[in-house]
């Protein structure tokens, strides 16, 4: 059995990665979960409820990236062959409101986990994946690739730059098999509801079902390179299956504006977004990242990776899923009236 340890397993990417690994019968998956007053395991509940063989290979442990001793303890208990660091306060806008907390979890959290991994590497081989982000490029002109200098534009992005370089430093200083995957935006029906793609697809679906009248948004001119999360976790796994550790950009190579996203999502429901969308500066950022467009040539040539789902397919998948959710909500409201 190969043992994988995933931080951020309750998040979008963690849930897809756990699924991918558990679909291979020789993987045991261990995930870190944080204590919270109400359970937030909706994205992984289906894994725990699967057949007995999957259940036996799926384990959760309480720990926190802000707590080094909890990380060492889990590392010591699990003794993983592969560590995937996906845990983060991952919301860029929120990072301006909570800069110190964001840096603690995203930057120092990565350092704590790298160091716990280095301790384990003294006694057994272990590989490390760091979830780096296209936000690190910030205002660097597109297209952005491995040779593009970083120009981060938020506390979140600054913290990711630190974690990226610390990952490279642990590789160079200690010979750790450590990879940094610079992933451009990736989305899915499991995307958190406050990120723009999900906010738009859920909002459009709820408007269609009469559950909501308006959608209040920020900067509609920002452009992103949006892919499907299920495709991107495949790239993470491939990085750790190579003979040597390295860094990669993962992206679709297409960019679209938030306005195009609105047009596509609303028109697929026969609605005109201009009738429903309002602007509120609350949803803008003190410093914005205007255009992201990734160059994933190395991931394509070395890993043999390429995205299976394009922008149109992604929006359609998310709209279908959110329409189903909205219909259920409307049904529950209709039939729960006294």
* CB-CB contact of 249 with 145 (8 Å): yes
Q: Which residue is nearest to ligand NAP (CB)?
A: 11
In whole angstroms, the minimum distance from the beta carbon of 247 to ligand F7E comes to 16
Per-residue contact track with ligand NAP, 71 to 100, x per CB under 6 A? ---------------xxxxx----------
The torsion of the CA quartet 290, 228, 188, 58, rounded to 10 degrees, works out to: -130
Does 95 participate in binding ligand F7E (rule CB under 6 A)?
no
Q: Which one among 13, 19, 135, 209 touches ligand F7E, defined by CB under 6 A?
A: 135
List the interface residues with ligand NAP, window 173-202 (CB under 6 A): 183, 185-186, 192
Give me the catalytic one of 135, 170, 209, 268.
Answer: 135
E runs forming strands in the chain:
2-7, 27-33, 58-62, 82-85, 127-133, 177-183, 186-187, 215-217, 223-224, 227-228, 247-250, 256-257, 277-279
Instruction: Note the residue count of the chain.
Output: 338
Q: Up-side HSE of residue 161: CA atoms within 13 Å toward CB? A: 15
Please state whether the peptide bond connecting residue 143 to the residue before it is cis, i.e. omega within 30 degrees of 0. Answer: yes
179/207 with CB nearer ligand NAP: 179
User: 89 contacts which partner out of ligand NAP, ligand F7E, none, CB within 5 to 8 A by kind?
Assistant: ligand NAP
The tokens for 121 are: 């590497």
**Chain positions contacting ligand NAP, by CB under 6 A:** 7-8, 10-14, 32, 34, 36, 40, 64-66, 86-90, 105, 131, 133, 183, 185-186, 192
Which residues belong to the active site? Answer: 133, 135, 156
**Chain positions contacting ligand F7E, by CB under 6 A:** 90, 92-93, 133-135, 185, 194-196, 199, 217-219, 222, 224, 258, 283, 285, 288-289
């Amino acid at each position: 059995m190969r043992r994988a340890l995933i931080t951020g397993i309750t998040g979008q990417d963690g849930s897809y990665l756990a699924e991918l690994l558990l679909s291979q019968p020789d993987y045991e998956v261990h995930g870190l979960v944080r204590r919270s007053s109400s359970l937030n395991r909706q994205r992984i509940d289906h894994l725990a409820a699967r057949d007995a063989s999957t259940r036996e290979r799926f384990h959760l442990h309480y720990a926190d990236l802000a707590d080094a001793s909890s990380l060492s303890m889990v590392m010591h208990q699990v003794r993983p062959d592969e560590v995937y660091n996906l845990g983060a306060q991952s919301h860029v806008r929120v990072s301006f409101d909570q800069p110190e907390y964001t840096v603690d979890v995203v930057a120092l959290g990565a350092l704590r986990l790298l160091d716990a991994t280095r301790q384990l590497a003294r006694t057994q081989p272990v590989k490390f994946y760091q979830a780096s982000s296209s936000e690190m490029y910030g205002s660097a002109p597109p297209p952005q690739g491995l040779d593009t200098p970083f120009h981060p534009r938020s506390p979140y992005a600054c913290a990711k730059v630190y974690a990226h370089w610390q990952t490279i430093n642990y590789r160079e200083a200690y010979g750790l098999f450590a990879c940094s995957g610079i992933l451009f935006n990736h989305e899915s029906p499991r995307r958190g509801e406050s990120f723009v793609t999900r906010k738009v697809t859920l909002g459009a679906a709820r408007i269609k079902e009469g559950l909501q009248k308006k959608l209040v948004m920020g900067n509609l001119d920002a452009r992103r390179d949006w892919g499907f999360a299920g495709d991107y976790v495949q790239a993470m796994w491939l990085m750790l299956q190579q003979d040597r550790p390295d860094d990669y950009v993962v992206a679709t190579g297409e960019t679209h504006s938030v306005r195009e996203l609105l047009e596509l999502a609303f028109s697929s429901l026969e609605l005109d977004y201009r009738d429903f969308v309002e602007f509120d500066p609350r949803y803008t950022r003190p410093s914005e990242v205007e255009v992201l467009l990734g160059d994933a040539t190395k991931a394509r040539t070395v890993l043999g990776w390429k995205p299976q789902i394009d922008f149109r397919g992604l929006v359609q998948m998310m709209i279908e899923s959110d329409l189903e959710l909205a219909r259920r909500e409307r049904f529950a409201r209709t039939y729960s009236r006294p």
